[in-house]
Structure 1
Protein backbone atom coordinates (compact mmCIF):
# COMPACT_ATOMS: atom_id res chain seq x y z
CA UNK A 1 0.00 0.00 0.00
CA UNK A 2 1.22 3.51 -0.72
CA UNK A 3 0.28 6.46 1.44
CA UNK A 4 1.31 9.76 -0.05
CA UNK A 5 4.90 9.10 -1.02
CA UNK A 6 5.49 6.50 1.69
CA UNK A 7 5.38 2.80 0.98
CA UNK A 8 3.83 1.18 4.05
CA UNK A 9 3.99 -2.44 2.90
CA UNK A 10 6.63 -4.01 5.16
CA UNK A 11 6.93 -6.94 2.73
CA UNK A 12 8.03 -4.59 -0.06
CA UNK A 13 11.70 -4.44 -1.04
CA UNK A 14 11.38 -0.64 -1.14
CA UNK A 15 11.42 -0.27 2.65
CA UNK A 16 13.73 -1.72 5.25
CA UNK A 17 11.78 -1.15 8.50
CA UNK A 18 8.35 -0.71 10.01
CA UNK A 19 9.02 2.85 11.20
CA UNK A 20 6.66 5.44 9.72
CA UNK A 21 6.34 9.24 9.93
CA UNK A 22 3.39 11.19 11.30
CA UNK A 23 3.42 14.88 10.41
CA UNK A 24 1.06 17.54 11.71
CA UNK A 25 2.04 20.76 9.91
CA UNK A 26 5.18 22.10 8.27
CA UNK A 27 5.97 24.32 11.26
CA UNK A 28 5.45 21.76 14.03
CA UNK A 29 7.28 18.61 15.09
CA UNK A 30 6.97 15.38 13.12
CA UNK A 31 7.08 11.98 14.83
CA UNK A 32 8.39 8.54 13.93
CA UNK A 33 6.40 5.51 15.08
CA UNK A 34 7.23 1.82 14.98
CA UNK A 35 4.09 0.09 13.77
CA UNK A 36 2.15 -2.64 15.57
CA UNK A 37 -0.58 -5.01 14.51
CA UNK A 38 -3.41 -3.23 16.23
CA UNK A 39 -6.68 -3.71 14.34
CA UNK A 40 -8.21 -6.62 16.27
CA UNK A 41 -11.65 -8.16 15.77
CA UNK A 42 -12.80 -6.25 18.86
CA UNK A 43 -11.53 -2.99 17.39
CA UNK A 44 -13.27 -3.79 14.10
CA UNK A 45 -16.54 -4.32 15.98
CA UNK A 46 -16.14 -1.14 18.04
CA UNK A 47 -15.39 0.98 14.96
CA UNK A 48 -18.27 -0.64 13.03
CA UNK A 49 -15.91 -1.94 10.32
CA UNK A 50 -16.49 -5.66 10.95
CA UNK A 51 -19.68 -6.09 8.91
CA UNK A 52 -18.34 -4.04 6.00
CA UNK A 53 -15.00 -5.92 6.06
CA UNK A 54 -16.87 -9.22 5.86
CA UNK A 55 -19.03 -7.94 2.98
CA UNK A 56 -15.97 -6.80 1.04
CA UNK A 57 -14.01 -9.97 1.94
CA UNK A 58 -11.09 -8.04 3.46
CA UNK A 59 -11.44 -9.19 7.07
CA UNK A 60 -8.17 -11.14 7.14
CA UNK A 61 -6.29 -8.12 5.74
CA UNK A 62 -7.71 -5.80 8.38
CA UNK A 63 -7.16 -8.21 11.26
CA UNK A 64 -3.43 -8.14 10.51
CA UNK A 65 -3.22 -4.41 9.78
CA UNK A 66 -1.02 -1.85 11.43
CA UNK A 67 -3.05 1.37 11.56
CA UNK A 68 -1.12 4.58 12.15
CA UNK A 69 -2.12 8.14 11.31
CA UNK A 70 0.09 9.61 8.59
CA UNK A 71 -0.74 13.16 9.58
CA UNK A 72 -2.76 15.45 11.75
CA UNK A 73 -5.68 15.55 9.38
CA UNK A 74 -8.25 18.23 8.89
CA UNK A 75 -10.31 19.91 11.57
CA UNK A 76 -13.62 20.85 9.98
CA UNK A 77 -14.69 23.94 11.88
CA UNK A 78 -18.44 23.29 12.05
CA UNK A 79 -18.55 19.45 11.93
CA UNK A 80 -18.80 17.64 15.27
CA UNK A 81 -19.03 14.02 14.16
CA UNK A 82 -19.98 11.71 11.29
CA UNK A 83 -23.11 9.96 12.51
CA UNK A 84 -23.96 7.93 9.41
CA UNK A 85 -22.67 7.10 5.95
CA UNK A 86 -25.20 6.71 3.16
CA UNK A 87 -24.37 4.91 -0.06
CA UNK A 88 -26.36 5.57 -3.20
CA UNK A 89 -25.38 4.59 -6.77
CA UNK A 90 -21.74 3.88 -5.74
CA UNK A 91 -21.39 7.25 -4.03
CA UNK A 92 -20.96 7.99 -0.34
CA UNK A 93 -22.72 10.75 1.55
CA UNK A 94 -21.71 11.65 5.10
CA UNK A 95 -24.39 12.62 7.59
CA UNK A 96 -22.75 14.88 10.15
CA UNK A 97 -23.75 16.55 13.39
CA UNK A 98 -22.78 20.18 13.89
CA UNK A 99 -20.81 21.78 16.71
CA UNK A 100 -23.06 24.81 17.14
CA UNK A 101 -26.51 23.97 15.68
CA UNK A 102 -26.88 20.71 17.55
CA UNK A 103 -30.47 20.19 16.37
CA UNK A 104 -29.43 20.26 12.68
CA UNK A 105 -27.53 17.86 10.43
CA UNK A 106 -25.32 18.46 7.41
CA UNK A 107 -25.01 15.91 4.61
CA UNK A 108 -21.86 16.22 2.53
CA UNK A 109 -20.33 14.27 -0.31
CA UNK A 110 -16.96 16.01 -0.52
CA UNK A 111 -15.07 18.09 2.02
CA UNK A 112 -13.08 20.02 -0.60
CA UNK A 113 -15.11 23.22 -0.33
CA UNK A 114 -15.51 23.16 3.46
CA UNK A 115 -13.57 25.51 5.71
CA UNK A 116 -10.85 23.65 7.63
CA UNK A 117 -7.87 23.90 9.92
CA UNK A 118 -5.43 21.20 10.98
CA UNK A 119 -5.75 18.96 14.00
CA UNK A 120 -2.85 19.28 16.38
CA UNK A 121 -0.83 17.26 18.82
CA UNK A 122 -3.97 15.47 20.01
CA UNK A 123 -3.48 13.03 17.12
CA UNK A 124 -0.08 12.03 18.54
CA UNK A 125 -1.45 11.72 22.07
CA UNK A 126 -4.37 9.58 20.84
CA UNK A 127 -1.95 7.34 18.89
CA UNK A 128 -0.02 6.71 22.11
CA UNK A 129 -3.18 6.34 24.23
CA UNK A 130 -4.65 3.74 21.85
CA UNK A 131 -1.30 1.89 21.72
CA UNK A 132 -1.26 2.01 17.92
CA UNK A 133 2.53 2.17 17.77
CA UNK A 134 5.69 3.01 19.69
CA UNK A 135 7.08 6.54 19.33
CA UNK A 136 10.69 6.29 18.18
CA UNK A 137 11.57 9.97 17.68
CA UNK A 138 10.29 13.53 17.69
CA UNK A 139 11.68 15.59 14.81
CA UNK A 140 11.70 19.34 15.49
CA UNK A 141 11.84 21.61 12.43
CA UNK A 142 14.73 24.08 12.28
CA UNK A 143 12.88 26.33 9.85
CA UNK A 144 9.85 26.22 7.56
CA UNK A 145 9.82 27.76 4.10
CA UNK A 146 6.51 28.41 2.35
CA UNK A 147 6.68 29.22 -1.35
Structure 2
Protein backbone atom coordinates (compact mmCIF):
# COMPACT_ATOMS: atom_id res chain seq x y z
CA UNK A 1 0.00 0.00 0.00
CA UNK A 2 1.23 3.49 -0.83
CA UNK A 3 0.80 6.62 1.23
CA UNK A 4 0.56 9.87 -0.70
CA UNK A 5 1.89 13.30 0.33
CA UNK A 6 0.37 15.84 -2.07
CA UNK A 7 1.49 19.40 -2.69
CA UNK A 8 -0.21 22.36 -4.30
CA UNK A 9 0.68 25.14 -6.70
CA UNK A 10 -2.01 27.57 -7.83
CA UNK A 11 -0.07 28.48 -10.98
CA UNK A 12 -0.09 26.57 -14.23
CA UNK A 13 2.53 23.88 -13.81
CA UNK A 14 3.45 20.53 -15.28
CA UNK A 15 2.31 17.68 -13.03
CA UNK A 16 4.95 15.36 -11.70
CA UNK A 17 4.97 12.40 -9.38
CA UNK A 18 7.76 10.85 -7.36
CA UNK A 19 7.94 7.59 -5.45
CA UNK A 20 10.02 7.30 -2.28
CA UNK A 21 11.00 4.81 0.37
CA UNK A 22 11.19 5.79 4.02
CA UNK A 23 14.73 6.19 5.34
CA UNK A 24 13.97 7.37 8.85
CA UNK A 25 11.21 8.98 10.89
CA UNK A 26 10.39 9.77 14.48
CA UNK A 27 8.01 7.28 16.14
CA UNK A 28 4.35 8.18 15.73
CA UNK A 29 4.84 10.72 12.93
CA UNK A 30 4.77 9.04 9.50
CA UNK A 31 2.52 6.05 8.78
CA UNK A 32 4.25 2.68 8.82
CA UNK A 33 4.20 2.24 5.05
CA UNK A 34 7.30 1.25 3.13
CA UNK A 35 6.67 3.48 0.10
CA UNK A 36 5.32 7.00 -0.34
CA UNK A 37 4.33 9.13 -3.32
CA UNK A 38 4.44 12.90 -3.74
CA UNK A 39 2.19 14.31 -6.44
CA UNK A 40 2.59 17.92 -7.59
CA UNK A 41 -0.07 19.60 -9.71
CA UNK A 42 -2.46 22.52 -10.01
CA UNK A 43 -5.77 23.44 -11.60
CA UNK A 44 -4.85 24.85 -15.04
CA UNK A 45 -8.46 24.47 -16.19
CA UNK A 46 -9.38 27.50 -14.05
CA UNK A 47 -6.19 29.48 -14.64
CA UNK A 48 -7.63 32.05 -17.05
CA UNK A 49 -10.64 32.66 -14.81
CA UNK A 50 -8.27 33.78 -12.06
CA UNK A 51 -5.62 35.54 -14.16
CA UNK A 52 -8.20 37.55 -16.14
CA UNK A 53 -8.52 39.94 -13.18
CA UNK A 54 -5.05 41.31 -13.99
CA UNK A 55 -6.65 43.29 -16.83
CA UNK A 56 -9.17 45.00 -14.54
CA UNK A 57 -9.16 46.58 -11.11
CA UNK A 58 -6.90 49.47 -10.18
CA UNK A 59 -3.34 49.84 -11.43
CA UNK A 60 -0.80 50.35 -8.64
CA UNK A 61 2.89 51.11 -9.06
CA UNK A 62 5.46 49.01 -7.18
CA UNK A 63 9.29 48.79 -7.25
CA UNK A 64 8.89 45.78 -9.58
CA UNK A 65 6.50 47.49 -11.96
CA UNK A 66 2.75 47.94 -12.14
CA UNK A 67 0.28 45.49 -10.63
CA UNK A 68 -3.48 45.25 -10.10
CA UNK A 69 -5.35 45.92 -6.86
CA UNK A 70 -8.97 44.87 -6.31
CA UNK A 71 -11.41 46.51 -3.90
CA UNK A 72 -14.98 46.02 -2.67
CA UNK A 73 -17.28 43.66 -4.55
CA UNK A 74 -14.63 42.92 -7.15
CA UNK A 75 -12.24 41.75 -4.41
CA UNK A 76 -14.99 39.61 -2.82
CA UNK A 77 -15.76 38.02 -6.18
CA UNK A 78 -12.10 37.27 -6.83
CA UNK A 79 -11.58 35.70 -3.41
CA UNK A 80 -14.64 33.48 -3.86
CA UNK A 81 -13.23 32.26 -7.18
CA UNK A 82 -9.87 31.63 -5.52
CA UNK A 83 -11.53 29.45 -2.86
CA UNK A 84 -13.23 27.49 -5.64
CA UNK A 85 -9.89 27.06 -7.44
CA UNK A 86 -8.15 25.84 -4.29
CA UNK A 87 -10.90 23.32 -3.54
CA UNK A 88 -10.91 22.16 -7.17
CA UNK A 89 -7.11 21.74 -7.23
CA UNK A 90 -7.05 19.67 -4.06
CA UNK A 91 -9.79 17.36 -5.31
CA UNK A 92 -8.10 17.14 -8.71
CA UNK A 93 -4.89 15.89 -7.09
CA UNK A 94 -6.82 13.30 -5.09
CA UNK A 95 -8.44 11.93 -8.25
CA UNK A 96 -5.14 11.99 -10.14
CA UNK A 97 -3.47 10.09 -7.30
CA UNK A 98 -6.08 7.35 -7.61
CA UNK A 99 -5.26 6.97 -11.31
CA UNK A 100 -1.49 7.04 -10.80
CA UNK A 101 -0.95 4.94 -7.66
CA UNK A 102 -4.29 3.22 -7.14
CA UNK A 103 -5.37 2.71 -3.55
CA UNK A 104 -3.65 5.11 -1.17
CA UNK A 105 -3.95 6.85 2.18
CA UNK A 106 -3.56 10.65 1.95
CA UNK A 107 -1.08 12.23 4.32
CA UNK A 108 -0.89 15.87 3.30
CA UNK A 109 -2.69 18.08 0.78
CA UNK A 110 -1.77 21.63 1.74
CA UNK A 111 -1.52 24.81 -0.32
CA UNK A 112 1.94 26.30 -0.71
CA UNK A 113 1.27 28.99 -3.30
CA UNK A 114 -1.76 31.23 -3.40
CA UNK A 115 -4.05 33.22 -1.11
CA UNK A 116 -4.14 32.30 2.57
CA UNK A 117 -6.53 35.12 3.46
CA UNK A 118 -8.00 38.11 1.63
CA UNK A 119 -4.80 40.14 1.89
CA UNK A 120 -2.20 37.41 2.29
CA UNK A 121 -0.49 35.70 -0.63
CA UNK A 122 2.28 33.16 -0.12
CA UNK A 123 4.70 32.12 -2.82
CA UNK A 124 6.32 28.75 -2.20
CA UNK A 125 5.56 28.65 1.54
CA UNK A 126 3.26 26.54 3.67
CA UNK A 127 1.27 27.83 6.62
CA UNK A 128 2.57 25.46 9.31
CA UNK A 129 -0.62 25.96 11.34
CA UNK A 130 -2.94 25.44 8.34
CA UNK A 131 -6.31 24.31 9.71
CA UNK A 132 -7.76 23.13 6.38
CA UNK A 133 -7.30 19.48 7.29
CA UNK A 134 -4.56 16.93 7.61
CA UNK A 135 -2.01 16.25 10.29
CA UNK A 136 0.39 19.18 9.82
CA UNK A 137 2.98 17.05 8.01
CA UNK A 138 4.72 19.03 5.27
CA UNK A 139 7.12 17.64 2.63
CA UNK A 140 10.07 19.86 1.76
CA UNK A 141 11.37 18.79 -1.66
CA UNK A 142 14.72 19.93 -3.04
CA UNK A 143 15.74 18.12 -6.23
CA UNK A 144 15.00 14.81 -7.90
CA UNK A 145 18.33 13.43 -6.65
CA UNK A 146 18.06 14.42 -2.97
CA UNK A 147 15.85 13.17 -0.13
CA UNK A 148 12.51 14.72 0.76
CA UNK A 149 12.39 16.01 4.32
CA UNK A 150 9.15 15.77 6.29
CA UNK A 151 8.42 18.47 8.85
CA UNK A 152 5.79 18.57 11.57
CA UNK A 153 4.32 22.06 11.54
CA UNK A 154 5.01 24.35 14.49
CA UNK A 155 4.23 27.99 15.22
CA UNK A 156 6.94 30.49 14.20
CA UNK A 157 8.79 32.91 14.18
CA UNK A 158 10.13 33.26 17.72
CA UNK A 159 11.29 36.59 19.12
CA UNK A 160 14.82 35.19 19.39
CA UNK A 161 14.85 34.30 15.68
CA UNK A 162 13.44 37.70 14.73
CA UNK A 163 16.25 39.31 16.71
CA UNK A 164 18.91 37.16 15.02
CA UNK A 165 17.55 37.98 11.58
CA UNK A 166 17.53 41.70 12.33
CA UNK A 167 13.75 41.92 11.88
CA UNK A 168 12.66 42.77 15.43
CA UNK A 169 13.45 46.49 15.58
CA UNK A 170 12.03 47.20 12.14
CA UNK A 171 8.92 45.10 12.79
CA UNK A 172 8.29 47.01 16.02
CA UNK A 173 8.67 50.32 14.21
CA UNK A 174 6.15 49.26 11.56
CA UNK A 175 3.74 47.66 14.01
CA UNK A 176 4.26 44.18 12.53
CA UNK A 177 5.98 42.40 15.41
CA UNK A 178 2.95 40.34 16.47
CA UNK A 179 2.19 39.43 12.85
CA UNK A 180 5.71 38.09 12.33
CA UNK A 181 5.54 36.10 15.57
CA UNK A 182 2.66 34.07 14.09
CA UNK A 183 3.64 34.09 10.43
CA UNK A 184 4.08 30.27 10.51
CA UNK A 185 6.15 29.83 7.36
CA UNK A 186 7.97 26.81 5.94
CA UNK A 187 9.36 26.57 2.39
CA UNK A 188 7.77 23.87 0.26
CA UNK A 189 11.02 23.29 -1.64
CA UNK A 190 14.54 24.40 -2.32
CA UNK A 191 13.63 27.02 -4.88
CA UNK A 192 15.65 28.24 -7.83
CA UNK A 193 19.28 29.31 -7.80
CA UNK A 194 20.22 31.80 -10.51
CA UNK A 195 23.81 31.31 -11.64
CA UNK A 196 24.40 34.94 -12.66
CA UNK A 197 26.25 37.77 -10.95
CA UNK A 198 24.17 40.74 -12.09
CA UNK A 199 23.84 43.40 -9.41
CA UNK A 200 21.60 46.02 -11.05
CA UNK A 201 18.00 45.37 -12.07
CA UNK A 202 15.78 47.98 -13.73
CA UNK A 203 12.11 47.38 -14.56
CA UNK A 204 10.39 49.06 -17.50
CA UNK A 205 6.65 48.70 -18.06
CA UNK A 206 5.78 48.29 -21.74
CA UNK A 207 2.80 47.18 -23.81
CA UNK A 208 4.42 43.75 -23.90
CA UNK A 209 4.61 43.64 -20.11
CA UNK A 210 7.48 44.29 -17.72
CA UNK A 211 10.99 44.27 -19.19
CA UNK A 212 13.79 43.48 -16.73
CA UNK A 213 17.17 45.04 -17.61
CA UNK A 214 20.15 43.35 -15.95
CA UNK A 215 23.62 44.86 -15.86
CA UNK A 216 26.91 44.98 -13.99
CA UNK A 217 28.18 41.44 -14.43
CA UNK A 218 31.66 40.32 -13.45
CA UNK A 219 34.40 42.95 -13.97
CA UNK A 220 35.85 43.27 -17.44
CA UNK A 221 39.17 41.61 -18.14
CA UNK A 222 40.50 44.62 -20.07
CA UNK A 223 39.77 48.34 -19.76
CA UNK A 224 38.81 48.60 -23.43
CA UNK A 225 35.91 46.17 -22.79
CA UNK A 226 34.12 48.73 -20.58
CA UNK A 227 31.61 51.18 -22.03
CA UNK A 228 32.07 54.69 -20.65
CA UNK A 229 28.33 55.39 -20.34
CA UNK A 230 27.34 52.26 -18.46
CA UNK A 231 30.49 51.12 -16.69
CA UNK A 232 29.87 47.50 -17.70
CA UNK A 233 31.32 45.30 -20.38
CA UNK A 234 29.90 45.86 -23.84
CA UNK A 235 28.60 42.29 -23.91
CA UNK A 236 27.26 42.35 -20.35
CA UNK A 237 23.72 43.77 -20.53
CA UNK A 238 20.65 41.52 -20.65
CA UNK A 239 16.96 42.32 -21.14
CA UNK A 240 14.32 39.72 -20.37
CA UNK A 241 10.54 39.65 -20.09
CA UNK A 242 10.29 36.52 -17.95
CA UNK A 243 12.68 35.30 -15.20
CA UNK A 244 12.21 31.77 -16.55
CA UNK A 245 14.49 32.76 -19.41
CA UNK A 246 17.46 32.91 -17.01
CA UNK A 247 19.68 29.84 -16.53
CA UNK A 248 19.02 28.26 -13.17
CA UNK A 249 19.54 25.25 -10.97
CA UNK A 250 17.92 24.20 -7.68
CA UNK A 251 19.14 25.00 -4.20
CA UNK A 252 20.10 22.07 -2.02
CA UNK A 253 20.20 21.04 1.62
CA UNK A 254 21.08 24.53 2.84
CA UNK A 255 17.35 25.29 2.77
CA UNK A 256 16.68 22.40 5.16
CA UNK A 257 19.49 23.50 7.46
CA UNK A 258 18.07 27.03 7.61
CA UNK A 259 14.57 25.72 8.35
CA UNK A 260 16.01 23.80 11.30
CA UNK A 261 18.27 26.67 12.42
CA UNK A 262 15.34 29.11 12.56
CA UNK A 263 13.02 26.57 14.26
CA UNK A 264 10.42 26.85 11.52
CA UNK A 265 9.09 23.36 12.31
CA UNK A 266 10.29 19.97 13.54
CA UNK A 267 12.08 17.59 11.17
CA UNK A 268 10.40 14.21 11.70
CA UNK A 269 11.29 12.10 8.66
CA UNK A 270 13.30 11.63 5.49
CA UNK A 271 12.32 9.86 2.26
CA UNK A 272 14.72 8.54 -0.38
CA UNK A 273 13.64 9.09 -4.02
CA UNK A 274 13.19 5.96 -6.13
CA UNK A 275 11.48 7.23 -9.29
CA UNK A 276 10.38 10.57 -10.79
CA UNK A 277 7.70 10.86 -13.46
CA UNK A 278 7.02 14.22 -15.16
CA UNK A 279 4.01 14.46 -17.43
Query: Structure 1 residue aligned with 2:171, among 42, 50, 59?
Result: 50
- Partners in 1 of 2:156 and 2:253 — Cα distance? 21
4+ residue runs over 3 A deviation: 51-54, 58-62, 83-86, 93-98, 106-110
- Partners in 2 of 1:133 and 1:34 — Cα distance? 6
**1:33 matches 2:140:** no
User: Does the residue aligned with 1:141 lie in a helix, a strand or coil?
Assistant: strand
Work out the number of aligned pairs and report it.
135
The 3 A distance-change label for structure 1 pair 142 and 126 is same
TM-score by length of structure 2 reads 0.37
Find the structure with the greater CA-based Rg.
2
Q: CA-to-partner distance for each residue in 1:3-36, whole Å, 9 max, x for gaps?
A: 5262346222xx2222211001223211111122
User: Does the residue aligned with 2:275 lie in a helix, a strand or coil?
Assistant: coil
Query: Structure 1 residue aligned with 2:130, among 4, 10, 21?
Result: 10
Question: Which residue pairs with 1:111 in the alignment?
Answer: 243
Q: CA-to-partner distance for each residue in 1:17-73, whole Å, 9 max, x for gaps?
A: 22211001223211111122222466287248738975xxx7654331211111010
Query: Structure 1 residue aligned with 2:269, among 137, 144, 147?
Result: 137
CA RMSD, 1 decimal: 4.4
Higher normalized contact order (CA 8 Å, seq sep 6+, divided by chain length) = 1
- 5+ residue gaps, structure 2, are 1-6, 10-41, 43-109, 112-126, 220-230, 233-237
TM-score by length of structure 1 reads 0.63
- 5+ residue gaps, structure 1, are none
